[in-house]
Amino acid sequence: MFSSTALDMELQPSSSSLQGSQPCRHFDFNEIQLATNHFDESLVIGRGGFGTVYKGDVFNGSSHVVAAIKRLDSMSNQGALEFCSEVDILSHFRHCNLVSLIDHLHRLGTPLSWLQRLNICIGAARGLHYLHTGTGIQVGIIHRDVKTSNILLHESWAAKISDFGLSRVGPTNQPSTYVNTLVKGTFGYLDPDYFFTGRLTRKSDVYAFGVVLLEVLCRKRAVDATLDEEQWNLARWAQESIEKGNLKHIVDSNLKGQISPKCLKEFVRIAERCLHNNSKQRSTMAEVVVGLESILTLQEKFNSSLHHAGKTISRMVDMIPFPYNGENSDSKISSNAKGTSKQSSNTKGNHRSVAKTYLGDDQTYKIQSIKQFKFADLERATSEFNHDQLLGEGGYGEVFVGWVDKNTFAPSTRGVGKPIAVKRLKQSIKQVPDQWQVEVSLLGRLAHPNIVTLLGYCINEKENEYLIVYEYTQNQSFDRFLYPKGHDTAIVEPLSWGTRLSIMIGVAQGLTYLHLSGVTLCGVRTNAILLDQNFNAKLGDFELARSSSEEERRAVGTMGNLDPHYYRTGLVSVKTDIYGFGVVLLETLTGLKALDTNRPDGQQYLVTSASPILAHKEKLKNIIDPCLEQSFPAKGVSKYAELTLRCLADEPNDRPSSYEVLQSLKKLYAESFLSLVSA
C-alpha cells in the first residue's frame, strides 16, 4: 500500500453528506480490551497499513458474537483520519455485501468450487455497485482499495466488502466525475490511469475488480515476485496469455472440468472490459453485476445437464449386481464365488455396490444436534469399556462399540437397541483436549453421506477424560476386507473390482465435500475408511483434520501414507489428502498394506516398490491383488493405475484435485459397467 503524509480533508464524508443512517454502537475501551484479552498477539488476524486487526468476542445486544476489531497504529500520521472516514461511511451505508462494524469472522479455506467463486464475485460486485450508486442518494463512494484481501467471507460464503479507510465520496449523478487525490492503493490493483493522472473515478474500482476476477479464475496473486518476471503482474500476464490464445493455461487447475466453455469465455470478456486501458471504455459495476449473474445462470444450466447425465449413469450403476453369493461368478467385475459360505447370515445379500454420483453445492445435508453424554451412561453402554467390545485403537485412543436406546440414547445392554462407536481418548497424551475440541468442532459442522456422523461427546471432569460418540458402521473399517489376516476371516471375503471402485468413489465424494468445506483430513488411510452395511464408504477419523486455512504444522501422520512434500516442508494443503488417497488407491489395487515390515527389504514401503510398475501396463498384473483372480477389466485397471500415479506425484501441484479424482473414478466405474454388459 502507498503511504502519504497528507490527506484531502474536504473529501472526507460528513454526517450530513450521507443519508439513510442507522445506529452504530459505541464501545467502551474496557469492553474492547476484554474482548481481545488486552490485545493478545495470539488473536491477531491481520495487519494493515494503519494498524492491526484482532479477533474478539463482544456482547452485541442479547448475545456474544465474534468480531474483527481494528486497532489503529498511534504512530500513523493519518490513521485517525482514515478511522473517521471508515466509521462515517459504514455508519451510513448498509448493504448485505458491505461488512458491518460488527461482523462475524469466518476464515474459510480453499479450494473453492467454480459456483462458489462466481457467487463470491457477484456478491462483491453488488457491494461495489451499491457503493458507487448510493442506492439513489446524492453521493456514492469510491472504495479505492478493492482487492481480494478486502473481500471477507461469511460462514454462508456471502462476500462482504471491507476496509473503507481509503474511500472517497463522489456525486452519483455524474458517471465520469473524478476527484483529485494523492495516489493510494495496492500494487497490482492500481488503475494505470489513476496512477499517472491522480484522477480517481469509480472506474478505478472497476479496474481493481477486474484484477480480482482474474485472481478468482487463475488462483494467482495480483503481484507475485516469486514467479518468473513475465508473470509477476497477474493482469499483464493474463491479458497477454489471452491475446495469444492460451486461455486454458491460465485457469486454476482445480477448476478443470467445472467451467462451461461459454461461461469461461464470457467471464474473461467481463474481466477484460474491466481492465481496459481507457477508463471510459470500462464497464460500470452495474454492467458487471448483470454479466456475472448471466454467467451464473448459464453455468447452473450447464451443471444441470451434467447432473441429469450423471443420474442416467447412476441409474445404470444401480442395476449392476455385485453378488457375494456366487451369482455371475464368471463376470469381469463380480467377485469370485469361492469361499462365500463363510459369509455371515446378517450380511448375506447386502453387498450390492453403491456408487452414487457426487451431490454438488446445491445439495443440503441436515446436520443433527449433538448430544452431551454422561460418562456413566457411556460406561454402561460399553459394558464398562469391555475390551470384548473394542473396535480398534488409534494414535489418540481406543474405539468401543456401545448400545443405546434408538430414541432416547439412554444406555442399553449389549446387542439391544442402537449400536454406537465411542472413542475414548488417552489421558496420557497432553494435546488430547485440543485434539478433542478440533475433532468435535469440525465434525459438528459437517454432514455428508460419506462422512461419519458425530452423535455427541462427553467430558469426564472427574478423571479429566474426553470422549467422542459416532454412528456405528456395521462393516467397520476397509482394511479388514483388503488384508483380512488377523481379522475374523469367517465374515470377511475378498471384495470385487466393482465394489472396490464403489468404495473409492465414496471416499472421493467425502474428500471433495471436505475440501469444499475448507477442511483437510491429513489422515486418509484404509483403517480410517468405514463401511456401512451396504459398503458405502465413510471417512471416519478426524484426529489430524484441520481447517485448510492453516498452513503449517509439525509433520504427523502414518508412516507409509505420509506425503513426502508435507514431511519435508511441514506445509499442508488439500493435496496432502490426495497423496494419502493415492496410497489408498494403491492398497486397494494390490491388497497390500502401505507399510509392512514383514516384507523383504526394498518392498516394505508399498509406494516405493509398486509405483514404478504403475506406469507399465504389461507389468500391472504382477501387483494386482490375487484375490481378484483376473475378474477385472484390463483397460480400466490401466487407467486406474495412471490416476493412482498422478495422486502420488512428488510435487503437490502435479496432483489432481479431489473433484478430478472423483470424476475419473466415476468414469472408470461406468466403463467397467459397460465392459460387464458387453462381456
How far apart are alpha carbons 444 and 676 in whole angstroms? Answer: 41
CB 299 within 8 A of CB 259: yes
The set of cell numbers assigned to 498 is: 466393482
SS3 category, 599? coil
Q: Is 70 annotated as a binding residue?
A: yes
Among all chains, which residue has been given the C-alpha cell 445379500?
A: 349
Q: Is 666 annotated as a binding residue?
A: no
In angstroms, the Cα distances linking 674 to 163, 253, 330, 379, 636 are: 56, 29, 15, 51, 11
How far apart are alpha carbons 502 and 353 in whole angstroms? Answer: 6
Which pairing describes strands 371-372 and 454-460: parallel, antiparallel, or unpaired?
parallel
Q: What is the DSSP string of 293-346?
A: HHHHHHHHHHHHHHHHHHHHHHHHHHT----SSSTTTT-SSSPP-TTGGGS-TT
The set of cell numbers assigned to 317 is: 450403476
CB 78 within 8 A of CB 7: yes
CA 381 distance to own-chain centroid: 35
SS3 category, 262? helix
Active site residues: 145
With CA atoms as reference, report the closest residue to 396 among 217, 515, 255, 558: 558
With CA atoms as reference, report the closest residue to 593 among 580, 608, 578, 605: 605
How far apart are alpha carbons 642 and 644 in whole angstroms? Answer: 5
How far apart are alpha carbons 34 and 64 in whole angstroms? Answer: 13
Sign for the pseudo-dihedral over CA of 607, 612, 613, 614? positive
CA 558 distance to own-chain centroid: 22
How far apart are alpha carbons 407 and 378 in whole angstroms? Answer: 16
With CA atoms as reference, report the closest residue to 288 among 269, 301, 303: 269
Helices (H) then strands (E): counts for the chain: 18, 19
How far apart are alpha carbons 233 and 222 in whole angstroms? Answer: 6
* Binding-site residues for ATP: 70, 423
